[in-house]
Chain A
Amino acid sequence: MTECALRANELDVIRGNKTVLSSMSFEVKKGEVFALLGGNGAGKSTTLLTFMGLLKPNGGTAEVFGHTAALEPAAVREKIAYLPENAALYEHLNAWENLNYFLSLSQARPQQSTLRAALDAVSLPEESRGRPLNSYSKGMRQKVAIALALLRETPVLLLDEPTSGLDPAAVEDFHNIIERLSSKGVAILMVTHDLYGACQVAHRVGLLRAGELVDVFEAGADGSVDITAVRDLFLQQQVA
């Protein structure tokens, strides 16, 4: 039986008077890519924050390899790499400096060749790597953030709108990276608006509506989730 990496168990999150997550339960196994699809305010980012131990749920638990995020945040964060929606790295530092700085926070000291390999993997142009990020396009910044997530070499990857701002070629590269990580056993929880991307890369796609997980679609024999079924429900949901 494949080990469960992430488990949401009857998660309730209430912020102010608003219920953001309601009795949400799901699991992500090692090597599985699970995409949470939903509109604005559906609770996608809140789910990630809860798994990172940055938000305490009002009910239920978010577990990472058996560690409850709200109770053992340090143990949980050791196992998680996170890619935020807007690659919020330091604008005045270049790619090398950003990677070194963020990795030093987790007490890692990577070799220069390792950093180079990660930047090569995300196809960040060689000549741009020594320039401060304030000269980068949004997509280039996102690539550095992806490289950072790769370098953490954690068994869990949390992705918040990972392909936002990437050009089609970069999206394709990113999907390849996700598939490679998945094949290495990394559990990936991805929240996104990108219906097509999610169906293409995820083993399962969950639809979130107003904090509730309304349905989960599994990938078929071809390895992709049936986009038509997901799209229909997603659009119904948007109209509703």
Chain B
Amino acid sequence: MNLGFRLQQELSFLLKSRAMLGALLLLLVVSSGSVALGLAYVSQEREKIEELIVLDTQERDYKRTLAVDYGGAAYDAFHAAWNAPSDLAFAAIGQRDLNPTMMRVRALALEGQIYETDSINPELALAGRFDFAFVSAYLLPLIIIFAFYDLFASERESGRLNLLSVSAQNTRSLWVPRILFRVLGIALAGLVPLWLGMLSERTALGSAIGVSLAVLLQILFWTVLVLLIASRSAFRSETAASISVGMWVVLTLAIPIAGKVYIESSVAGIKGAEVSLVQREVVNDAWDLPISDTMNAFYASHPEWADSPPITGVWHWKWYYAFQQIGDETAAELAREYRESIVARDRLTAAVAWLSPAVAIQRRLEDLAQTNLEASFAFEDEVRGYHEKIRRAYYPVLFREIPFSQERLAQIVIPDFQISQKSGEGD
């Protein structure tokens, strides 16, 4: 047995194939490009977060020096909240493109603040993000098709298959090394840029292994599928190519699109902007209602402030904040429905993933990178909790009608936003 010589010859054979080398180089370039863009994206996000924190604090401190009452101080005090990218977010931007990752919240009605970005994000959703998940889902299978569609047919059509078959001791020794080297080349061209990216991000080992396995599984799936097609002796190379590309169209385009159409038609869609609109309408209507109507409604749901002195004039900050909160509470049911509809769509998308490896790998990478819907909702929940802290910090001085002083204002300390520490370890 001269296995070493056999492998050396097969490697040399691969390296002499210009078409295959070109395909591997293309994959390497595309994969590197996606990783570089992803790294630039997360780096930019982190810089923006740093900048936001500094500027936010500076502005809040400055505005406080100008404050003449607590209500005005709360009105002007924006508090930064952010969802820092995980150590794998560069590979799968996921929901970070669609949902806010940085916000400035204040004690006013929250729903409008949360959903205001819904009016601009469809443009991003339409274009999609060129990230490593995209390369793995859509481009990687095309390279695999190119590598294997004519593996057998090209030998048959050139009249070489009989000579190869007679020369080889068995079929395995002929095809297995050739297939293995191509798979290895594809895996390295696809994964090495990702590994370098993970090294620079100090990605947790668990996530690194998880994402590598997901990509290898994707390579394995497509390799087996294309080889099954290519091994049909009745198929000429162009037939095998057409069927393989047809499978790619079905599995990566047709099924996800059909799934999307089905999901959109079967799950009633509520827009985030509708939640904002309901909340805004309540807030706007409140200006025309008697103050007592608003306050009675507020005290009914927040009895802890019911002993607050009655409002005698035409304006009071506590009335203003009361109708802001009622606006939120009125929109709460719709906001819950909105989230439920998104969750329902996400569940159906997860079902589509069983039929489409492209959807499956994107979702898996987003899960590992914590850029999935769950992570997005977790951030939203953190923001809601933080906003509640801001309200609770100002409500005592507003509803107890504590006389304003800078000293008392200085005692209102709202801690910086803290998101639950991301584990970065995937599952």
Q: Which residues of B contact A101 (CB under 8 A)?
A: 9, 12-13
Beta-carbon nearest neighbor of B164 in chain A:
A105
Known: A52-B165, A77-B169. A105 touches B16 (CB 8 A): no
| Structural contact, A100 and B9, CB atoms closer than 8 A | yes
| Structural contact, A108 and B2, CB atoms closer than 8 A | yes
Contacts A/B (CB < 8 Å), 24 sampled: A52-B162, A54-B166, A74-B170, A77-B165, A77-B167, A81-B166, A82-B162, A82-B163, A82-B166, A84-B159, A88-B158, A88-B159, A90-B160, A97-B12, A97-B16, A100-B9, A101-B13, A104-B8, A105-B167, A106-B169, A107-B2, A107-B3, A107-B173, A152-B167
Q: Which residues of A contact B18 (CB under 8 A)?
A: 92
Q: Residue A65 at the B interface, CB < 8 A?
A: no
Q: Which residues of B contact A152 (CB under 8 A)?
A: 167
| Structural contact, A106 and B165, CB atoms closer than 8 A | no
Q: Residue A86 at the B interface, CB < 8 A?
A: yes
Q: Which of A88-144 contact B (CB under 8 A)?
A: 88-90, 92-93, 97, 100-109
Q: Which residues of A contact B163 (CB under 8 A)?
A: 82, 84, 88-89, 102, 145
Q: Which residues of A contact B16 (CB under 8 A)?
A: 92-93, 97
Q: Is the interface of B mostly helix, strand, loop or mixed?
A: helix
CA of A39 to CA of B245, assembled, Å: 42
Q: Is the interface of A mostly helix, strand, loop or mixed?
A: mixed
Q: State which size class the interface on B falls in.
A: 20 to 34
| B170 CB to nearest chain A CB (Å) | 5
Q: Which residues of A contact B173 (CB under 8 A)?
A: 105, 107
| Structural contact, A89 and B5, CB atoms closer than 8 A | no
| Structural contact, B169 and A78, CB atoms closer than 8 A | yes
Q: Which residues of B contact A104 (CB under 8 A)?
A: 2, 5-6, 8-10
Q: Residue A227 at the B interface, CB < 8 A?
A: no
Beta-carbon nearest neighbor of B173 in chain A:
A105
| Structural contact, A77 and B166, CB atoms closer than 8 A | yes
| Structural contact, B166 and A52, CB atoms closer than 8 A | yes
Among B16, B163, B168, B174, which residue has the most Cβ atoms of chain A within 10 A? B163
Known: A106-B169, A107-B1. 12 other contacts (CB 8 A): A49-B162, A52-B162, A77-B166, A88-B158, A93-B13, A97-B16, A101-B13, A102-B167, A105-B167, A105-B168, A105-B173, A107-B169
CA of A226 to CA of B354, assembled, Å: 72
Q: Which residues of A contact B6 (CB under 8 A)?
A: 104-105, 107
Q: Residue B17 at the A interface, CB < 8 A?
A: yes
Q: Residue A150 at the B interface, CB < 8 A?
A: no
CA of A152 to CA of B12, assembled, Å: 21
Give 1 or 0 for each of A163-201: 1 = CB within 8 Å of chain B CB. 000000000000000000000000000000000000000
Partner of B169, one of A82, A84, A85, A105: A105
Interface size on A, residues (CB 8 A): 31
The 10 closest A-B pairs by CB, nearest first: A88-B160, A104-B9, A88-B159, A105-B168, A109-B2, A105-B167, A82-B166, A109-B5, A104-B6, A102-B167
Known: A74-B169, A105-B167, A105-B173. A54 touches B162 (CB 8 A): yes
Q: Residue A35 at the B interface, CB < 8 A?
A: no
CA of A64 to CA of B5, assembled, Å: 28
CA of A158 to CA of B162, assembled, Å: 12
Beta-carbon nearest neighbor of B170 in chain A:
A74
CA of A49 to CA of B12, assembled, Å: 30
Among A49, A86, A105, A109, which residue has the most Cβ atoms of chain B within 10 A? A105
| A51 CB to nearest chain B CB (Å) | 10
Q: Which residues of B contact A108 (CB under 8 A)?
A: 2
CA of A166 to CA of B6, assembled, Å: 31
| Structural contact, A84 and B5, CB atoms closer than 8 A | no
CA of A52 to CA of B16, assembled, Å: 29
| B167 CB to nearest chain A CB (Å) | 4
| Structural contact, A89 and B160, CB atoms closer than 8 A | yes
| Structural contact, A80 and B166, CB atoms closer than 8 A | yes
Q: Which residues of B contact A85 (CB under 8 A)?
A: 159
